[in-house]
Amino acid sequence: MSSGTLALLCTHAPLVGCFGALVVLRRAPRAAAALNILAMLASLGAALAIFAGSNHQPPTIISLWLSSEGVPISFGFLLDGTNQLMGIIVALIALCIQVYSLGYMKGDPGYARYFGLHGLFAWAMLSFVYSANLLQAFVFWELVGLASFLLIGFWFEKPSAAAAAKKAFVMTRIGDVGMFIGLILLLSSTSTLDIAQLMQASTLASIPDARLTLIALLLFCGVVGKSAQFPLHTWLPDAMEGPTPVSALLHSATMVAAGVFLYARFHPLFVAAEGVSNIVLVIAIITAILAATIAMVQRDMKRVLAYSSISQLAFMLLGLGAGSLYAGVFHLTTHAFFKALLFLCAGAYIHQIGSNDMVTMGRQGAAKLRLVSAGLVIGAAALAGLPPLAGFFSKESILAALHGAHANAFVYGAYLASFLTAYYTFRMVFLVLRPSDKSVLPAEEHEPHPHGDVTGSMKLPIAILTVGAAAAGFAGDFIAKLIGAKALHPTYGEMAPAIGIALAGVIVAFFEFGRKDAAQQGFITRVGALDTLFERKYYLDEIYDKVAGGLVSLIASVSAVVERGVLDGTGDLAGNLTIATGDATARMQSGRLQLYIGSAVLLIVVFCYFVGGY
Amino acid sequence: MVLSAIILTPLAALFLTLLIPARNDKAIKAVSALAGAVTVALAAYVWFKFDPYSTARYQLVERVEWVPTFGISYYLGVDGIGVLMTMLNAIVFLTGALSMWRLELRVKEYFAFMLTLVIGVFGVFVSLDLFFFFFFYEVAVLPMYPLIAVWGSTRKEYAAMKLTLYLMAGSALLFPALLSIYYKSGLNTFDMVALSGHKFSEAYQIFVYPFIYIGFGVLAGMFPVHGWSPTGHVAAPTAVSMLHAGVLMKLGAFGILRVAMPLLPAGAAYWNGPFAALATCNIVYGALVALKQDDFKFVIGFSSVSHMGIVLLGINMLTIDGMGGAVFQMFAHGVMTALFFSAVGFIYDQAHTRDIHEFGGLSKHVPIASAFFIIAGLCGMGVPGFASFWAELLVFIAAVKTMPLFGVLAVVGLIISALFMLRVLKHAFFGPANPKWQGLRDVTAWDALPRAILIAVLILFGFIPRLALALIASSVRALAGGI
Amino acid sequence: MDAVHPSAWAFVVVALGGALLSVSLRNILHAIFGLALALFGIAGLFLYLGSPFVAAMEVLIYVGGISVAMVFAVMLAYSLGKKEGGSTRRFLAVVPVGGFFGVVGYALLRASFAVTSKTGSWDLKLVGRKLLLDYNVVFEALSVVLLLAIVGAIIIARRDEKTGDDKTADEKAASKGNDAASAEERAS
Amino acid sequence: MTLSHFLLVALALFALGLYSVLTRRHLIGLLIGVELMLNAASINFLAFDRFVVKDPATGQIIVLFIIGLAAAEAAIALSIILSAYRAHRSADVDDLDELKN
């Protein structure tokens, strides 16, 4: 098979699964699930086959989509190293999560729909990854958003899920609008949207500097929205309303990763655009610290992981913004493994114990799930950046990149964020695995509702991902070669403080939460104001609701009033005036025949008098 | 002869309908549906017969002199735009007839009026003679009054009257302007092709262009004379809403493309700025008002205003991209709104309310019927994979390039349209299932047929936009080149 | 200029007098008699104007037909207790009538006509020939009109009788009241 | 008596007829007025025929037509009056105001 056919198979096999599950096999959920898993297997196989084929091919054009003022825009695949790597990760993680969902979603009335939407998601994400041109990427980028909207709102009967789905869509849409305008500007500046062509230095050089900066900023808007960076990050924690495997899918290799991937894809452009990288770094560092501080005080396990995702995505952007494609993509890869693992572990606990609350999990004996707990510990250690697990290597390379580019506030910010990361990660681990008798944390209000035992189909993906999370860190050189970027090997001098900081975080967490009779109270509770601030997520939701929501609502109300009052009013007024005139003249129609005749004669007389000239 | 056949098919169906006794309502519906299917087939024939690469701008031409004294002839022909619009009307006609399968009130009269409407619309899309163009235009507009006033709901007399008054006001602007063109040209002909060859003085074009643009603009839902359209949509019965928003509003935009711009290119070039500003108002304002509506159909009505704004914006860009996008948007929006109203009509016919707050969790009770609405909603938000995405994309590309301010504002309108659409989805289809609607019947295969056809069309053009874009490219190029 | 014999003034007096009576008498029956009188006078004027045939027709159709029909109609449909128009109405009517009279009369007095000299002879043969040849179409049309008028009059006048239920609500209520009243009478 | 005299007499008859039409409340009173006006016109025709026009037959024929039409009109009017009287129990012109406003 040619690579084009393979790419078509890889991207569109899940679409077949989606169609089958949503339309044909609605009443046969098991068959729908099987079909989708088969489709994902095909995708993974095709992705691997593409990888096994030759590297760095020119884009394969499948067909012409449309032409804009003579510029042809085609549908095709770009199969270079970055895309190949990402494709394999997406297919692999999606497959793991689908297998996991077999057990997790058992008994749900929307079983077939769930797998169908999964197929839709995988199709959109894979097609996005292999896109040959920016417009195609944008199309599937939007479709990824659509699929995530449908998956977050999967349990649509929960008002919170419906609201979260809406929020996710709107917040990402805000970013997308910026990206869309950027796309149009790029098109009109370069007369091409072909990614390979766009990334050539000569093309980039042809764009005026100010315009390039503008385009880069607009594209970055899309990244901010999709990858949930400050200030558009608030949708992501709410997106936890979806089923846990969905969260795993959204937060590891798809959806949020799409933003970072886009940045990586357009790395040359962002590097060429003057002044943009500083803005990126500022936003990333703000996001990293902001999300990490919020994660410190959450009790909901999925929320902790959600904020950690935001924070880690910010790390990736830190690496990319510092100019190292390698660091960003490397962290993207390792993060995909350990974050998917952590979410699947969380899902297993939630499934078995029936609560999202970490304290409840601990008290209900979460530690008894041996395999899951092992996965949790390894995943957490990877997230915290403890050697020799996956997160350690990638995070070190990001720090190294920062050192190389900006040995200043950003580095210290990154140190702070990684300390917090280690702290909240192990706070989570200790809360779940080492319940303390002396804990001051109150029990949850709701009784837990267990769904059932963790099945084999759930354990298998956890096991695979555990291996991945442990080992992915050694793939650094391989990845560097694949994406054609220079690998960064931090010196021991650079490594030491990072390791020390991560260890410090773990140790603080241990003393506060992990000791035999720890009070399980974080140091931040001593500063009440900060605690509340973090607890309430910096009041950003409220501010957005009040300010942006209120503003839009106000304008809309004014428009509605204008519509009713002014425009409709004018129309009605014209109509009513006509009717009133009619009524007035109708009153003259008294029904008095003789009055009519008399006035008619009189008029004739008057007429004759004047016209006749008498 | 095929274009005549397209007009004559609904006409024959109309006569047949009048001959069938009123009690035989199944037969009447079947006649309309059959006529719809035949017109779809004929439109498809036209589609394949039309050669987009030919140098002849208008093809499949038929011409018979009618009143030589005044230069009136029965002159039919289509360019790519006409082909696409004919197809749109055929599709909406077919699916509209199928959607009204459950109608019980005065079936015969209903279908007679609907067929009259369809005849008029087809006539407008294929006429090349100004006289017949205007004649068919009025034929299409007039049946709206009885259709809404008799079979409508929610302040139907008010809506019908409002609609008629607005449209008549539009015609009142249009008619003298068209006659003035006829006299001013001195060619003693209503032949639009010949008239477009005549060069009117620039001052005259600038003077008369707004009359024609606004005259047609009323029907296209142009801000600020769009008031009739949401009210009319709300009051009209399902298939009429479908035809009304799906096709009738397109007549306005089509008129601008077919009459105003080719005949008065200098006027178009002079006025495109202000009219583009108004079109931007359409987009943003329509979406904002939709955000505050509680009635399903009002939301869709104002979203139509917003979407027609995209059409008008595209037209006023006077570039190939803009006009091509506008034409494609006319098609996509037509199919999409038809789907919207079809989906809402199905729910309303059972629930007898359209207040989104009264519903909740409809996806639970009637998953397939809800899915139709949700798909239409996604299409309305401009989600890729549906035809409207490409149309909006092209218009926005043109707008951001030509008039960046309006372009950016229009793109920002996308956020608002996502907001109001999601608001409806959230309140009515998601959330806790309201037990009140437990007894709602979901669609049967027969009910699903028209909606499925519309969705299929949307997705087909959503993935292969070139099908339509290649068709209209040469016509649009000729149009844009003339200005 | 050959004037009509002055004795015609007598008929003028009869015509105008009859007309005055028909206009002024309160009793409608009397007014009809006044009309008949006026018509006689007019018929006399026709004689003086040289058309005995037309005069005969006038007497036959108007006096003998229309006036009598009116009398019958009054007998069938006389509503008692209805007053004739008040002084306001009369006063108001004077304005257009006076105006009309003034304007036309003034115009008449100022106008001059090219009066030709000829005797007022008449020829019934000529009239008959003209009627059936030159004015054939009008004649036919008039016949049709007359036929339609007769048929129409019958239909209009008969409609209520034929459908007995078609009485108005008032009528029904009235007849019901009567029934009730008569029932009471019987009971007492 | 000359032409002018006849015309003036006709005018007086017409004015009286008009007055009757304007003041009478009884429908037959209106009819009487109309008949007077028609006759006034007839007198005019015959007067012109006698004094002005050379052809002696035309005026007479027109008057004959007028008489015929008047007969038809009277028949219809009387039947309408009868039917209106049945419907309203009145032949008063002021009561027949269904077309009011």
Amino acid at A31: A
CB contact under 8 A, D18 and A601: yes
Calculate helix-pair angle for A29-52, A111-129, nearest 10 degrees.
20
Q: What are the pLDDT digits (tens) for B104-117?
A: 888 888 889 999 99
Size of interface A-B (CB pairs under 8 A): 131
Confidence band (pLDDT; 50, 70, 90) for B8? very high
- Look at residue C185 in the predicted model and tell me its pLDDT: 46
Q: What is the pLDDT of residues A395-404, one digit of tens each?
A: 888 888 887 7
Closest to A263 in 3D by CA, of A332, A336, A171, A168: A332
Q: Which pair of tokens denotes residue A461? A: 């993906």
Tokens of B469: 């874009």
What pLDDT shows up at residue A406? 59
Residues in chain C closer than 8 A to D4 (CB atoms): 108-109
pLDDT at A55: 56
Backbone angles phi, psi at A586, to 5 degrees: -65, -30
Q: Closest partner residue to D22 among A589, A591, A594, by Cβ? A: A594
Average pLDDT of chain A to the nearest whole number: 82
Question: Hey, is the C-beta of A594 within 8 angstroms of any chain C C-beta?
Answer: yes
Stretch A315-326: mean pLDDT:
85
**C145/chain D closest Cα distance in angstroms:** 7
Shortest alpha-carbon distance between residue B289 and chain A (Å): 5
Strands A60-68 and A71-77: antiparallel
Q: Is A453 left (phi over 0), alpha (psi -120 to 50) or beta?
A: beta
Query: Residues B390-399, buried b or exposed e (16+ Cβ, 10 A)?
Result: bbbbbbbbbb
* Residue B40 pLDDT exceeds 90: yes
- Binary contact (A593, D93; C-beta < 8 A): yes
Residue A591 C-alpha, separation from nearest chain C C-alpha, in angstroms: 15
pLDDT digits (tens, 9 = 90+) for C153-179: 888 877 655 444 444 444 444 444 444
Cβ separation A153–B430 shorter than 8 A? yes
> Is residue C4 classed as helix, strand or coil in its secondary structure?
coil
Mutant choice from A594, A596, A599 vs D, greatest count of D C-beta within 10 A:
A594
Task: Look at residues C159, C81, C23, C66 and name the one whose alpha carbon lies nearest to residue D89.
Answer: C81
Contact C108 D87 (CB under 8 A): no
Which string of DSSP letters, residue by residue, matches B457-474?
HHHHHHH-THHHHHHHHH
Whether the Cβ atoms of residue A363 and residue A443 lie closer than 8 Å to each other = yes
B477 Cβ under 8 Å from any chain A Cβ: no
**ipTM confidence score:** 0.70
Q: A60 near A79, Cβ under 8 Å?
A: yes
A610 contacts in chain C (CB < 8 Å): none
Classify the C-alpha dihedral A394-A399-A400-A404 as positive or negative: positive
Q: What is the span of the domain harbouring residue D80?
A: 3-89
Those residues whose C-beta lies under 8 Å from the C-beta of residue A455, and which sit 6 or more positions away, are A102, A103, A106
Instruction: Read off the tokens for A458.
Output: 């759930």
pLDDT in tens, B284-299: 888 888 888 888 888 8
Determine, yes or no, domain membership for D101. no
- The answer to whether the Cβ–Cβ distance between B166 and A69 falls below 8 Å is no
Pair A141, A176: CB distance under 8 Å: yes
Whether B51 and B447 have beta carbons less than 8 Å apart is answered as no
CB pairs under 8 A between C and D: 252
Cβ separation of C89 and A594 shorter than 8 Å?
yes
At residue D99, does pLDDT exceed 70? no
List C-alpha distances in Å: B83 to A576, B45, B86, B338, C76. 42, 10, 5, 19, 72
User: Mutation test of the interface with chain A: which of B370, B393, B424, choosing the one with the most A Cβ atoms within 10 A?
Assistant: B393
- A438: pLDDT strictly greater than 80: no
C97: chain A residues, CB-CB within 8 Å: 601
Distance CA A562, CA B131 (A): 38
Is residue A585 less than 8 Å (CB to CB) from chain D? no
- Beta carbons of B303 and B417 less than 8 angstroms apart: yes
Measured between alpha carbons, how far is A153 from B430 in angstroms, rounded to an integer?
Answer: 8
pLDDT at B311: 92
D97 touches chain A (CB under 8 A): yes
B348 pLDDT more than 70? yes
Environment class of residue A190 by beta-carbon count within 10 Å: exposed (0-12), middle (13-18) or buried (19+)?
Answer: middle
Average pLDDT value for residue range A592-597: 82
Name the neighbours of D, counting chains with at least 3 Cβ pairs within 8 A: A, C
Beta bridge partners of A280: none
Contacts (Cβ under 8 Å, ≥6 apart) of C45: C8, C11, C12, C15, D6, D9, D43, D46
- Per-residue pLDDT of B238-270, as tens digits, reads 888 888 888 888 999 999 999 988 888 888 889
Residue D16 touches chain A, beta carbons under 8 Å? no
- Condensed to tens digits (0 to 9), the pLDDT of residues A245-294 reads 888 888 877 788 888 888 888 888 888 887 888 888 888 888 888 888 88
Q: Position A348: which residue type?
A: A
Most C CBs within 10 A among D35, D43, D58, D95, hence the mutation to make, goes to D35
Q: Show me where the domains of chain C are located.
A: 1-122, 123-188
Give me the mean pLDDT over the D57-61 stretch.
84
Residues 6+ away with beta carbon under 8 Å from A520: A359, A430, A431, A436, A438, A439, A440, A441, A512, A513
- A303 exposed, middle or buried (CB, 10 Å; 0-12, 13-18, 19+)? buried
Beta bridge partners of A50: none
Chain centroid to CA B49: 24
Question: Which residue of D21, D34, D88 is the best one to mutate when testing the A interface, meaning the one whose CB has the most A CBs within 10 A?
Answer: D21
Q: Note whether B touches A: 3 CB pairs or more under 8 A.
A: yes
Q: State whether D94 and A592 contact (CB < 8 Å).
A: yes
Q: How confident is the model at residue C135 (pLDDT cuts 50, 70, 90)?
A: confident
Instruction: For residue B289, give both structure tokens.
Output: 């008002």
Cα–Cα–Cα angle for A158, A452, A164, nearest 5°? 20
Tokens, residue A208: 């005026």
Burial of A489 by CB count in 10 Å (0-12 exposed, 13-18 middle, 19+ buried)? middle
Q: Residue D29 domain-assigned?
A: yes
Instruction: Tell me the nearest-neighbour CA distance from A553 into chain B, angstroms.
Output: 8
Once rounded to an integer, what is the mean pLDDT over residues A604-611? 84
How is chain A split into domains, by residue range?
1-204, 275-442+450-526, 536-578
Cis? peptide before A388, omega within 30° of 0: yes
Q: Helix crossing, B466-482 with B80-99: angle to 10°?
A: 130
Domain CATH number, residue D59: 1.10.287.3510
- Give me the residue from D12, D57, D85 closest to C16, CB to CB: D12
* CA dist., res. B466 & res. B446, Å (int): 31
Min Cα separation C109/chain A (Å): 12
Share of chain A above pLDDT 70, in %: 97
**Cβ–Cβ < 8 Å for B426, A156:** no
Going by beta carbons, is chain B in contact with chain D, meaning 3 or more pairs sit under 8 Å apart? no
Whether C21 and chain D come into contact, CB under 8 Å, resolves to: no
> In C, which residues are within 8 Å of A599 by CB distance?
96
pLDDT of residue C171: 47
Residue D97 lies in a domain: no
Does C82 contact chain D (CB < 8 Å)?
yes
Of C12 and A29, the one with more pLDDT: C12
Q: B185: which 2 tokens? A: 């040209």
- In sequence order, the 6+-apart residues with CB closer than 8 A to the CB of A282 are none
Q: Residue B91 in contact with residue B442, Cβ under 8 Å? A: no
Cross-chain Cβ contact A602/C93 below 8 Å? no
pLDDT at residue number C166? 45
Q: What is the pLDDT of residues B154-195, one digit of tens each?
A: 788 888 888 888 888 888 899 999 889 888 888 888 888 888
| Mutation choice for D interface testing from C1, C7, C24, C45 by most D CBs within 10 A | C45
CB pairs under 8 A between A and D: 28
Compare CB distances from D18 to C61, C77, C100 and report the shortest one's residue.
C100
Give how far A382 is from chain B: nearest CA, Å. 37
pLDDT digit string (tens) for A229-250? 888 888 888 888 888 888 888 8
Q: Which residue in this structure is represented by tokens 């489709």?
A: A39
Average pLDDT value for chain B? 87
- Token output for B87: 């197809």
Minimal Cα–Cα distance from B187 to chain A, Å?
Answer: 36
Rounding to the nearest 10 degrees, give the CA dihedral for residues A352, A358, A364, A370.
60
CA-closest candidate to residue C76, choices C166, C182, C158: C158
| Total Cβ atoms within 10 A of residue B359 | 25
Q: A179 to chain B: nearest residue by CA? A: B411
Q: How far apart are CA B375 and CA B377, in angstroms?
A: 5
**Which of the following CATH numbers is that of domain C1-122: 3.90.1010.10, 1.20.120.1200, 1.10.357.10, 1.20.1260.10?**
1.20.120.1200
Q: Among D96, D99, D101, whose Cβ lies nearest the Cβ of A587? A: D101
CA A470 to chain centre: 25
Q: What is the pLDDT of residues C68-123, one digit of tens each?
A: 888 888 887 665 445 565 677 778 888 888 988 988 888 888 888 877 765 555 67
